Structure 1
Amino acid sequence: MRSNYLFTSESVSEGHPDKVADQISDAIVDLFLSKDPEARIACETLTTTQLVVLAGEIRGKGIMDEDGNWAAGVKEEVEATVRRTVKEIGYEQEGFHWETLRFENNLHPQSAHIAQGVDASGNKDEGAGDQGIMFGYASTETPDLMPATLDYSHKILQRMAADRHAGTAPFLEPDAKSQVTLRYDSEGKPSAATAIVVSTQHAKGYDQGEKEAELHAYVKSVIADILPASLLTETEYHINPTGSFEIGGPDGDAGLTGRKIIVDTYGGAAPHGGGAFSGKDPTKVDRSAAYITRYLAKNIVAAGLATRCTIQLAYAIGVSKPLSLYVDTHRTGTVGDDQIENAIMSIEKLGGLTPRAIRTHLGLNKPIYRKTAAYGHFGRKAEGDFFPWERTDLVEDLKAALA
């Protein structure tokens, strides 16, 4: 382990244009799963000035038939869901307003060729919705077993959004970004925050004079609430370093589903297979296998088997059995990595890590995804409860399998 090195992670707020797109896509996933838990969904969203466009492939009972005909009232529900999502984020601006934006719905039926490979039939189990590699990660840096740089970056923006929604920081607008740089010691523990960047969209006039000073003081107070004082002894602050940030969100920059995959995962502290999460139903292993690898890595660390763990899974489209399972405890493991791999595959409740077994074990066929689409998919709670992949209920199974 290197001593005295710097590492940086960033986050973006719920009002960032790419995150607006992610939340819309996942709101559509939730809408369709609420109608048919076995629905197949791949929903991409484009956001720009006064426009939201949906595109992608879907299939599900009570949603759309094979000829592309919508079930009664569903098309209207889709548009209502999009507008409600934008409203809840807080966009009521001239350049992007939930009520007056233009909306295009280009969703169409899923390819029959994809369906035949994914669906279970006869003696064939449900196959993976695509090929790909997925990674999970956990470390003892924070109580939630996440990288500290990303954890702090998320929490700064979550606090600012909560204050904006509560009306206690009325000068804030929805679009914002954060970035935290920490110095790590020889044991891999954070010892100081050397730089923190926060750029936030703001009301008119908060880029000069007393109002600018008020905004800067507010942001520094949020940072002081989130980070331990012991880390803020040598910090360089960059608050709205470009100056004015009045035009933001989709009016300032186009947004697309799936462009913030590092923000969504581990802030660069772990590898990423390249597949995005939002807009996809859980038969897509880009999503479900990334969730199960986080679950496995977190349980391995929570069980005391390692202080840091990376896991990779690989799949082929239409094939149920994973092609490979790889565990790396980065020389912090109390047992061999190969022993952990064997233990995982021997645990009956995990079902060999097939797509269906993952969905069943984690309970993924539920409308739970809109809440994942901002401030990271890992290391946090949703409305007081951990996401199912954040549970540590596999600890005793792992210990028993290794006994």
Structure 2
Amino acid sequence: MKVIKSAEAVCQGHPDKTADIIADAILDELIMKDPYTKASIEVLITTGLVHVSGELSTDAYVDIPNIARSALIEIGYTKPEYGFDGYTAGVISTISDQSPEIALGVPLEGAGDTCIVVGYATSETENLMPLPCNIANRITQSIDQLRKDDIVPFFRPDGKAVVVVEYENGKPVRIDSVTVLVQHEPYVSELELKNAVIEKVIKEAVPEEFIDRNTNIVINPIGRFIIGGPMADTGLTGRKTIADAYGTAAASGGSAFSGKDPTKIDRSASYMARYIAKHIVASGIADECNVEMVYVIGGEYPVSFNIKTNTDLDSEKLNRKIKDIFDLSPVGIIEKLKLRNPIYKETAIYGHFGRVGEHTTWEEIDKNILEELRDAF
């Protein structure tokens, strides 16, 4: 049986992703000064303007305009000809206090929101992520790095990649298509741009064994892409939820991640759901795992918990065992995954899952948990 799965990834300068990066940069500065900060930060970006809004409960003070401008400069918005740059962009902040009803109604150990969260893992890749996600993220990361290292000086900050992979009997067998959009300087020709993307990006980021003569590689399908970023399109936090997660390989809980402190259970429990799914697959008791949890604001534990695997494991027994091993309370998740640390800005780009890094605790593997799962099943 043939199935198609796809994934999207965007470059740092994509307006929606730039908004996510700014939101998490502000969050990190707040948590660095007050680890118990409660925040829900939203960012809107348009030509020449960054608008930061949302709710805060914190003892910290941070310079929001300076953080936003520094993030823009770090991303690469440094030239007036981009129509948007960190040196001249205006920054408006309309942050307000957290709702008193929420502050009083949610106990310290309770969930900070009502939400559905999803975690997923698959044995098809080394990091237990869907292959399309890995390829799409590698492409956009490569474009950004080539631009920042000045190896390809005609790349501009905005860009996107979409990867479509064909599966047979649950395994990836070939890449159906790769579409890459790269903002660029006006002086470069379409041919020179396409050659650079193929030679320096596609050939490095896309596994050769999955490409065949029918693989469709498309670069800048409408031709020139000079005007991009916030000058071309308004950016908002939370509009890249599928790119942040698992592409079309798994359902989305629907919630965005960036700008939210770990008491916002839609972010922290999504990390825990991935942690659980990854351990189930890494233990070898299943090749594919999907974890779904539902939380109600103020509640201490999920009101619904379900695990789906591609095996005939006793689902009720598996659910009970997972609840015994993992503390699914908001406090337990925060403590286990060490989420009261300024770790969020680095997660805002190239996906929140499948990453290798010092602070992505939800990607770490606990050998004791693996043994416990193997012994039980």
Structure 1 equivalent of residue 137 of structure 2: 154
1:113 matches 2:124: no
Structure 2 equivalent of residue 189 of structure 1: 171
Please point out which of 164, 170, 180 is paired with 2:153: 170
User: Given residue 320 of structure 1, which amino acid in structure 2 is its aligned partner?
Assistant: E
Q: Which segments of 5 or more consecutive residues in structure 1 lack a partner in the other structure?
A: 64-73, 121-125
TM-score for both structures, normalised by structure 1: 0.89
What's the % identity of the aligned pairs?
Answer: 42
Mapped contact 1:380–1:386 kept (Cα < 8 A): no
User: Given residue 34 of structure 1, which amino acid in structure 2 is its aligned partner?
Assistant: M
1:141-194: per-residue Cα shift (whole Å, max 9, x none)? 2111011111101101101111111110101001001011112122x2222112
Q: Which segments of 5 or more consecutive residues in structure 2 lack a partner in the other structure?
A: none
Structure 2 equivalent of residue 362 of structure 1: 337
Structure 2 equivalent of residue 80 of structure 1: 66
User: Given residue 96 of structure 1, which amino acid in structure 2 is its aligned partner?
Assistant: F
Mapped contact 1:36–1:61 kept (Cα < 8 A): yes
Mapped contact 2:120–2:278 kept (Cα < 8 A): yes
Mapped contact 2:5–2:248 kept (Cα < 8 A): no
User: Given residue 337 of structure 1, which amino acid in structure 2 is its aligned partner?
Assistant: S
Please give the alpha-carbon distance, in whole angstroms, between the structure 1 residues aligned to 2:347 and 2:3.
31
Please give the alpha-carbon distance, in whole angstroms, between the structure 1 residues aligned to 2:301 and 2:105.
13
Structure 1: 4+ residue segments shifted above 6 A? none
Please give the alpha-carbon distance, in whole angstroms, between the structure 2 residues aligned to 1:268 and 1:29.
29
Please give the alpha-carbon distance, in whole angstroms, between the structure 2 residues aligned to 1:205 and 1:336.
62
Query: How much has 1:343 moved relative to structure 2?
Result: 0.7
Please point out which of 340, 343, 350 is paired with 2:321: 343
Q: After the TM superposition, which residues 10-49 of structure 1 pair with which residues of structure 2 at under 5 Å, given as runs?
A: 10-49=8-47
Please give the alpha-carbon distance, in whole angstroms, between the structure 2 residues aligned to 1:265 and 1:85.
23
1:200 matches 2:200: no
Structure 2 equivalent of residue 219 of structure 1: 197
Structure 2 equivalent of residue 262 of structure 1: 242
Structure 2 equivalent of residue 90 of structure 1: 76
1:135 matches 2:118: yes
Query: How much has 1:49 moved relative to structure 2?
Result: 0.3
Please give the alpha-carbon distance, in whole angstroms, between the structure 1 residues aligned to 2:218 and 2:166.
17
Structure 2 equivalent of residue 230 of structure 1: 209
1:102 matches 2:87: no
Please give the alpha-carbon distance, in whole angstroms, between the structure 2 residues aligned to 1:230 and 1:319.
48
Query: How much has 1:386 moved relative to structure 2?
Result: 5.9
TM-score for both structures, normalised by structure 2: 0.96
Please give the alpha-carbon distance, in whole angstroms, between the structure 1 residues aligned to 2:126 and 2:44.
36
1:127-154: per-residue Cα shift (whole Å, max 9, x none)? 1001111000000121110111111011
Query: How much has 1:56 moved relative to structure 2?
Result: 0.5
User: Given residue 80 of structure 1, which amino acid in structure 2 is its aligned partner?
Assistant: N
Please give the alpha-carbon distance, in whole angstroms, between the structure 2 residues aligned to 1:162 and 1:254.
24
User: Given residue 179 of structure 1, which amino acid in structure 2 is its aligned partner?
Assistant: V
Structure 1 equivalent of residue 3 of structure 2: 5
Please point out which of 365, 370, 377 is paired with 1:392: 365
Q: After the TM superposition, which residues 365-384 of structure 1 pair with which residues of structure 2 at under 5 Å, given as runs?
A: 365-382=340-357
Please give the alpha-carbon distance, in whole angstroms, between the structure 1 residues aligned to 2:5 and 2:293.
26
Describe the shift of the 1:185–1:232 C-alpha distance in structure 2 as closer, same or farther (beyond 3 A).
same
Q: Secondary structure at the match of 1:250?
A: helix
Moved more, 236-245 or 6-15: 6-15
Structure 1 equivalent of residue 266 of structure 2: 286
Please give the alpha-carbon distance, in whole angstroms, between the structure 1 residues aligned to 2:297 and 2:194.
50
Query: How much has 1:368 moved relative to structure 2?
Result: 0.1
Structure 1 equivalent of residue 297 of structure 2: 317
1:179 matches 2:152: no
